[in-house]
Amino acid sequence: NAGVTQTPKFRVLKTGQSMTLLCAQDMNHEYMYWYRQDPGMGLRLIHYSVGEGTTAKGEVPDGYNVSRLKKQNFLLGLESAAPSQTSVYFCASSLQGAVGANVLTFGAGSRLTVL
Amino acid sequence: KNEVEQSPQNLTAQEGEFITINCSYSVGISALHWLQQHPGGGIVSLFMLSSGKKKHGRLIATINIQEKHSSLHITASHPRDSAVYICAVRHEKLTFGTGTRLTIIP
């Protein structure tokens, strides 16, 4: 049982390049989330999904797009990377959403550097 | 003012000491989570609680809903407990604290 798997774990981009982070979960969770973690700040929600085919904006969605074509996968895209998007990105999933009494399962994180 | 405040930001202690990490929040919540982030970066859920107290091994988490405060205690601390401990509160969304970096010296 792998839980939540993120790929890639590390990536270096030049400003203006595009890339996609993949999150895959094998727990049949309905809810999936993308967070970013920056020094001195708590995890901040970028986008989330409440089920296959749905996506919604979080706190810091600008510059990112997401897709949830399959229940087990949640993709985070950067169309034109900027240095401000240098961060560690975490994917998480849960059976229920924010008001549900449920535990989040996190991926190992993806460290992105934009030069 | 942040919705979730943790203290201390950094804590260094000797092996065997009793550790307390605090979390205060300013909104009404349905639940509070304690998470552990290992030096390698992975995040693991330790506790989710909405009232009272929970215990798992050497870890104890308490919450006082009226005072909007939670504590995480570690008894008989060990170097392997060195990590960042993060408090997160559930209301209409999940809001995370900035974490407490704990270092246990052998």
Tokens found for residue A63: 């510059």
Total CB pairs under 8 A between chain A and B: 54
* Cα–Cα dist A86/B97, whole Å: 20
* Cα–Cα dist A49/A67, whole Å: 9
Higher confidence at residue A47 or residue A42?
A47
Please check the confidence at residue A112 and state whether its pLDDT lies above 50. Answer: yes
pLDDT along chain B (106 residues), means of 10: 88 98 92 90 88 95 95 97 94 87 97
Collect all residues of chain A within an 8 Å Cβ-Cβ radius of residue B99: 42
* Cα–Cα dist B42/B106, whole Å: 23
Name the residue of chain A whose CA is nearest to B39's CA: A108
Tokens found for residue B75: 């008894």
Contact B43 A40 (CB under 8 A): no
CB-based contacts of B74: which residues, under 8 Å, 6+ apart?
Answer: B18, B19, B58, B59, B60, B81, B102
* pLDDT tens profile A65-109: 999 999 999 999 999 999 999 999 999 998 875 544 467 889 999
Those residues of chain A whose CB sits closer than 8 Å to some CB in chain B are 40-45, 58-59, 88, 90, 92, 98-99, 101-106, 108-109, 111
Tokens found for residue B82: 């060195």
pLDDT recorded at residue B15:
98
pLDDT recorded at residue A115:
96
Work out the average pLDDT over A41-59: 92
B65 three-class SS: coil
B79 three-class SS: helix
Q: How many CB atoms lie within 10 A of CB A86?
A: 16
Contact A45 B50 (CB under 8 A): no
Residue with tokens 């203290």: B7
pLDDT recorded at residue A102:
63
Contact A105 B31 (CB under 8 A): no
Contact B90 A104 (CB under 8 A): no
Collect all residues of chain A within an 8 Å Cβ-Cβ radius of residue B63: none
